[in-house]
Structures are given as C-alpha cells and as structure tokens.
Amino acid sequence: MKRLNWGMIGGGKGSQIGPAHRMGAQADGNFALAAGALDHDAERGKAYAAELGVAPDRAYGDWREMLEKEQARENRVDLVTVATPNSTHFEITKAFLQAGFNVLCEKPMTMQVDEAEEIVAIASSTGKICAVNYCYSAYPMVREMRQMVARGDIGKVRVIVVNFSHGHHGDAADADNPRVRWRYDPQIAGVSGQFADCGIHAMHLASFVSGDQVRELSADFASAIPSRALEDDAMVNFRMEGGTVGRLWTSSVAIGRQHGFDIQVFGETGGLKWWAEQPNQVYYTPVGGRTQIIEKGEGGLSGEAARLSRVAIAHPEGFPMAVANIYVDLAAAIRGEPHGAFPTAEDGLRSMAAVHQAVASARQAGAWVDARPPSLR
C-alpha cells in the first residue's frame, strides 16, 4: 500500500499537540510526513522539518509558501493538518481547501460562526475532506459506548453528564505567565476561554456518544481568577434534539483534577461511564443489576472498538493512538475506501455556534438560547 503524502502546519518543536499528530498520522503506515511549515519562526520550522526527515525543498518557512509550492507539485500532499494557534485556523484551512487539498484542522475550527459556515460550504463545493480533530471520539471504548447506546443497551438516553475540568490554570500567581494569560485574553482567544478550549470537546463527545445534537443551552460563566476577562470555569446545561438533558462542566481551576475529562450517559434501562484517564474501560450498570467493566481488547466488543484497538487486552494505547484512529479513517476516505466516522467541518460549525450562544446566554444570566448554527436550525 502506497503511503499518502502528509503535510503539517504548526506543531513545531515543543508544541503541545504536534507530537500526537506525528505519532498518529504515521502509526499505521498510511501517511509519511512529506512537507511542513511547522513553526511561526521560519528558520526553526525548517530546521525541525529537516530533523523529521522532510526534504529541504518541502521544508517551508511559511504556510503561504507551502500552499503555493505544493499546489505546483505533482506529488502534492494528500492531507494537510492545521495545528497552529486558534486564530489562524480559518485562514489556513480556507486557503488549502479552496486550492483542492484535504484538511484536518485542530479545534476550534474557526473563531466566528460565519467563518465556520464558510468552511462547511467550501468543503461541500470542492468535495474535499475537512475534518476537525475531536480525537476523544476515536478512543476504542468511546466507540463501544456509542455502539451500546445505538443498540439500545441502556434504552432511551435521559441524561448526559460530561466534564472536562482540569486545574492547570488554577494558580493565581501564574496567571500572568504569557503561556497562560493569552487563553483568557479576548484579543487573542476570542469570545470564550475555557468553554471554547475544552468545553467543545465535551459537547462534541456528548453528541457523538448519543448520536444526537444539542438544540439549546443555558450557560453560567465565571472567572474564578478575577483578572481574567474570559471565563476559566463554565457550567452549561443543554437539551438535545431527542429530549436528552445535558450537564456540562468545564474548568481550568479545578486543582487536583488532572486531565479531568469524563462522561456518563444515563438511559432508561442502564448507565455508562467512561473516563479519559482510564480509557480502556467502560463501566456499564443495567437497571437493578451489578456494574460491569467492559475492557478494551476483550471478546465480544463492537466492530468499531475492535477495529480501532491495536495492542492486546490490558495494554494502554491512549491519546496519540486515538489521534491515529482519526488518521486511519481519513486515509481510507482519501483513498476512496470504506471508512468509519470522523469529525467533520459540520461538527466544527456546531461547536462554534455553541460557543457564541453560550457567551450570549452567560451575558443574559443563563437565558436559554438556540445552540444551533443558522444553517442547521
């Protein structure tokens, strides 16, 4: 099987998400890193690309140069990953999609709802893939949960409780550290801090696992560290199209919670629980019965959970391999082969609408508002 050519923008040396993309894209032999504009500092980016084995003529100092030169090549990249800071996602994703490239964009896909609508429209008119890296949806046991819900194992879903609450920005003495401060600065982060950063992962997971979409929401935002203009803690109540009640808590001041991402789904005949820090297990409790632990790698799992597990039972795979699962399905889609679900620009659009509507709700003391983007109402 011929490897696909892969390009990366951002994700330079020392970046947070870059390594997960490099491990993920290359884990199954589907993609080879062929080109990159990896850093905001052109020379650093080129040097790091060379270190990673990118040929000198495809180690670019800038994404515009990469776009121009890749377009002119016969063996142009088959997929471009955008892993730069948030405010650049729209411009870069739009330019590459319009030029006929497939794109995997980091979340949030854009800063504005109309920008997200534009990306969805461009992906649709060009027929190119625009995926968004909601990688938690690609953990094998999340797929198992989704299948259990779809199969009716817990009956109609009544309530979803989802948290993405960590404590890594909880130290007030560190609040002015430039690596922390920008996240709560509207000039750089946009209209929302913690909800746009982590809350949208949680909301996406609630939709993915339940197979339903958020219809309306009510938000309470707080800046627990008062110098922050944007929220570092948010409680978002939501209702889904099918009537499910959602409770979402996201925080960056929850000291003691580490990654802090967990989801519980409560149905009429049972409940399910998954926790990103123990991702190999799903807890299942049938009504009136005992709690059972369903383990990645054991017999009888759904096809999706089995397909996306690589190593034997009880061995961890974890975050980079969840990202790898997104790339597995992207590779199949690019090759025109059957593939599983991956998050798309439409998911990115729904998130951006939810962010802006949550901000509007929080400003109106938690008034209930329509969470959907205009085009999907």
Query: Residues in the site for ligand NAD, rule: CB under 6 A?
Result: 9-12, 15-18, 37-40, 63, 83-86, 88, 106-107, 133, 135
Q: How far is the CB of 65 from ligand NAD (least distance, A)?
A: 10
Q: How far is the CB of 88 from ligand NAD (least distance, A)?
A: 5
Three-state SS letters, 37-100: ECCCCHHHHHHHHHHCCCCHHHECCCHHHHHHHHHCCCCCCCEEEEECCHHHHHHHHHHHHHCC
Taking the C-alpha atoms of residue 351 and residue 372, their distance in angstroms, rounded to an integer, is 9
Nearer to ligand NAD by Cβ, of 25 and 294: the residue is 25
Nearer to ligand NAD by Cβ, of 262 and 369: the residue is 262
Nearer to ligand NAD by Cβ, of 83 and 272: the residue is 83
- 181 is written with which tokens? 């401060």
User: What counts of helices (H) and strands (E) characterise the chain?
Assistant: 13, 14
> Positive or negative CA dihedral for 51, 56, 61, 66?
negative
What contacts 186, CB < 8 A, 6 or more positions away? 229, 230
Nearer to ligand NAD by Cβ, of 231 and 294: the residue is 231
Q: How far is the CB of 98 from ligand NAD (least distance, A)?
A: 18
Nearer to ligand NAD by Cβ, of 197 and 212: the residue is 197
Nearer to ligand NAD by Cβ, of 166 and 228: the residue is 166
Q: Residue 70: in which H helix or E strand, if any? A: helix 63-71
- 203 is written with which tokens? 């909301």
Q: How far is the CB of 13 from ligand NAD (least distance, A)?
A: 7
Q: How far is the CB of 345 from ligand NAD (least distance, A)?
A: 15
Q: How far is the CB of 10 from ligand NAD (least distance, A)?
A: 3
- 348 is written with which tokens? 């990115």
Tell me the chain's radius of gyration from C-alpha atoms.
Answer: 20
Q: How far is the CB of 17 from ligand NAD (least distance, A)?
A: 4
Nearer to ligand NAD by Cβ, of 158 and 259: the residue is 259
Taking the C-alpha atoms of residue 279 and residue 145, their distance in angstroms, rounded to an integer, is 12
Q: Residue 83: in which H helix or E strand, if any? A: strand 79-83
Q: How far is the CB of 158 from ligand NAD (least distance, A)?
A: 28
Q: Do β-strands 157-165 and 261-267 pair in parallel, antiparallel, or remain unpaired?
A: antiparallel
Q: How far is the CB of 265 from ligand NAD (least distance, A)?
A: 21
Taking the C-alpha atoms of residue 212 and residue 12, their distance in angstroms, rounded to an integer, is 36
Nearer to ligand NAD by Cβ, of 168 and 339: the residue is 168
Taking the C-alpha atoms of residue 363 and residue 220, their distance in angstroms, rounded to an integer, is 8
Q: Residue 7: in which H helix or E strand, if any? A: strand 4-10
Name residue 338's amino acid. Answer: P
Taking the C-alpha atoms of residue 15 and residue 38, their distance in angstroms, rounded to an integer, is 10
Closest CB to ligand NAD: residue number: 12
Nearer to ligand NAD by Cβ, of 244 and 262: the residue is 262
Q: Do β-strands 245-251 and 281-286 pair in parallel, antiparallel, or remain unpaired?
A: unpaired
Q: How far is the CB of 18 from ligand NAD (least distance, A)?
A: 6
Q: Phi and psi at residue 360, in whole multiples of 5°?
A: -60, -40
Nearer to ligand NAD by Cβ, of 124 and 258: the residue is 258
- 31-37, strands of its sheet edge to edge: 31-37, 4-10, 79-83, 102-105, 130-132
